[in-house]
A and B are shown apart, each in its own frame.
Chain A
């Protein structure tokens, strides 16, 4: 039983660190601000969930588990809020996304100027 928990928690930590590393690579690799934001989303959501769940399994203290859950909830609640605020500020200050593959580019420019 002890061994099983160690293996499963190690697996969670491994997947989590892979996801965080992918998020870091995505920040470097992607072409513009909006796409980089999606790469950050990977770290913010599943990466931290995996790492903190892995840590939860290694602990037997109930208080420590509760604190880990608190950190996890904070990250999950705060992450989308900051990325939305950041995206909104960038969009309203005239930073246009690069390489759009659709037709409604013109449309969006109108709406951004009317909202500022």
Chain B
């Protein structure tokens, strides 16, 4: 059951990555990165149990913190010009 849950989370992570590549707006990408990070935390905890090494939980805690800080850090710049939502034909989304 642990392995099944790991596989399910892995598929969900693939779907999130797909949304991150497909876009279409910058915010979709940030959202995809955020949910990818949350799922990574869950996956690290699961893998710790699969491999019988619960020390992985420390890494999961650190990863949860890094994920939070990175998203907040990107959005600190959300009042700059690059984040303005422009119509689809001439948008600038090189950032991520």
Say if the two chains contact directly (CB < 8 Å): yes
B58 CB to closest chain A CB (Å) equals 7
Q: Using CB atoms, name the residue of chain A closest to B8.
A: A17
Question: A95 near B85 (CB under 8 angstroms)?
Answer: yes
Question: B12 near A93 (CB under 8 angstroms)?
Answer: no
Instruction: State the total of A-B contacts with C-beta under 8 angstroms.
Output: 141
Q: Check A18/B8 contact, CB under 8 A, given A64-B54, A67-B58, A85-B72.
A: yes
**A17 neighbours in B (Cβ, 8 Å):** 4-5, 8-9
Report how far A113 CA is from B15 CA in the complex, Å.
Answer: 34
**B5 neighbours in A (Cβ, 8 Å):** 13-14, 16-17, 51, 54
Task: Rank and list the top 3 A-B pairs by shortest CB-CB distance, nearest first.
Answer: A24-B12, A17-B8, A24-B15
Report how far A40 CA is from B31 CA in the complex, Å.
Answer: 8
Interface residues on A, range: 35 or more
Question: A86 near B30 (CB under 8 angstroms)?
Answer: yes
B34 CB to closest chain A CB (Å) equals 6
Q: Using CB atoms, name the residue of chain B closest to A30.
A: B19
Q: Check A14/B42 contact, CB under 8 A, given A33-B25, A86-B75.
A: no
Report A79-96 CB contacts with B as 1/0, cut-off 8 Å.
101110110011011110
B41-74: which residues lie under 8 A (CB-CB) from chain A? 41-42, 45-46, 49, 54, 57-58, 60-61, 64-65, 67-68, 71-72
Residue A5 lies at the interface, judged by CB distance under 8 Å to chain B: no
Question: B12 near A36 (CB under 8 angstroms)?
Answer: no
Question: A13 near B1 (CB under 8 angstroms)?
Answer: yes
Q: Using CB atoms, name the residue of chain B closest to A26.
A: B15
Report A8-37 CB contacts with B as 1/0, cut-off 8 Å.
011001101110110111011000010011
A33 CB to closest chain B CB (Å) equals 5
